[in-house]
Structure 1
Amino acid sequence: MEPKELILKESLDLFLNHGFKSVTMDDIASRMGMSKKTLYTHYKNKSELVAATSMHMCNFICDGVNNIALDENRTPIEELYEVKSYVMRELRGDNSSSIYQLQKYYPEIHQIISKRMYDFMDNCIYRNVERGIELGLYRDNIDKTFVARMYFIGIQGIKNISIFPIDRFPQDQLYDQYLEYHLRGIVTPAGRNILNELTQSNHH
């Protein structure tokens, strides 16, 4: 692996575990076993490194979600739960403080990432809704664009820790509750059966 790629990988790991603000260039240099001077030959400042790692994380997650969506052995309902598990795993589950720090201390970078995620998710959920209607699992009288955008707004909304403090709303449960809330509004009776099975297994 190229030094630049290795720095990207190790920095992202530190940022996700400790937060984008908390981790310093000194921390990264010491983790890499290199001088700060060498680190600066690859990334000229911390903002550049934060932007590169954020975009890397964003692309990685989009690729993973795409792979899940391409597997037609899952129903669209199962697909959404699988996507949720995947994203939680990659973003270190309950540790949403890293994303919160990105939003607070690097708002321009956060905005670029959010826009990229929005465009990607909008398309992804639209396809999910389309397939759900074709398979008779989602109602055929829903507005696909509206549903896809409401899904995105909801996902953004539950990440707001001033509304959903982590001590009262553990992330994993919160995502499950949100998915069930989203799906109950659009499923047909056949879809509801699949959803009931999934939510019962999640409760156990």
Structure 2
Amino acid sequence: MKEKIKITATELFLNLGFKSVTMDDIANEMGISKKTIYTHFSNKTDLVNEVTSSLFCIISEGIDLISAAQKNSIEELYEIKRFVMEHLKDEKSSPQYQLQKYYPKIYSTLKKKQYDVMQDCVKDNLLRGVNSGVYRDSINIDFISRIYFNGVIGIKDNELFPLKEFSMNTIMEYFLEYHIRGICTAKGLETLQKFITTNQSL
């Protein structure tokens, strides 16, 4: 039952927002009593914490699998973006922004874990990209990996990028192209153009 509650809560939180969804909403959606939920979770904060931790693990494992495939570095970034968007329901409810605003302690812990995972993933992507000739060999990998993380976090600021003006999927597309163009070689630019053209025609 605990796992079923987490699955339902995850769907509701991602589609409607961490603040908007109440324990009553989750109970009604599942056709159970609120008391049943409280048997497994002491309060909403406890549930939010478990949901975000589970999501983090699922996404981290998925990113590891994509990275292990050792694809072209540029293609890999787009593949990771697609995977993350799929699991976060295109971030229609600005989950990261809502966490930061209403559950700051959970957000802070999650951000630290995200940073650790992304640093390894992005550094590996950059190094392979340099070695394969799609990224410039003059880039500072440590700096670029940090600025990339900062950018990914920054574009999810709902005040800077309101969802009514920018869908999260569109922003991520813009950001990825911006990131790659800043570090790629002529060979990398050619790869990027082909990839963008192919995806636009799908």
Calculate the TM-score normalised by the size of structure 2: 0.94
Of 62, 65, 70, which aligns to 1:64?
62
Q: Cα offset for 1:8?
A: 1.1
Partner of 2:183: 186
Q: Distance in 2 between matches of 1:159 and 1:102?
A: 11
Partner of 1:110: 107
Q: Cα offset for 1:167?
A: 2.4
Question: What are structure 2's unaligned runs of at least 5 residues?
Answer: none
Q: Distance in 2 between matches of 1:90 and 1:23?
A: 18
Question: What are structure 1's unaligned runs of at least 5 residues?
Answer: none
Partner of 1:25: 23
Of 138, 145, 148, which aligns to 1:148?
145
What do you get for the CA RMSD once the two structures are aligned?
Answer: 1.3
1:28-177 equivalence runs, <5 A: 28-72=26-70, 74-177=71-174
Q: Cα offset for 1:177?
A: 1.1
Q: Distance in 1 between matches of 2:200 and 2:147?
A: 25
Q: Distance in 2 between matches of 1:103 and 1:75?
A: 34
Q: Cα offset for 1:166?
A: 2.0
Q: Distance in 1 between matches of 2:93 and 2:148?
A: 19
Contact 1:158 1:174 in 2 (8 A): yes
Aligned length in residues:
201
Q: Deviations over 1:80-101 (max 9, x none)?
A: 0111111111111150433322
Q: Deviations over 1:93-129 (max 9, x none)?
A: 1504333222211111111111111111111100000
Contact 1:18 1:98 in 2 (8 A): no
SS at 2:134 equivalent? coil
Q: Distance in 2 between matches of 1:202 and 1:173?
A: 13
Percent identity, aligned pairs only?
A: 45
AA matched with 1:148: S
SS at 1:162 equivalent? coil
Q: Distance in 2 between matches of 1:120 and 1:190?
A: 28
Contact 1:136 1:190 in 2 (8 A): yes
SS at 2:61 equivalent? helix
After TM superposition, the structure 1 stretch with the greater mean CA deviation from structure 2, 27-36 or 56-65, is: 27-36
AA matched with 1:57: L
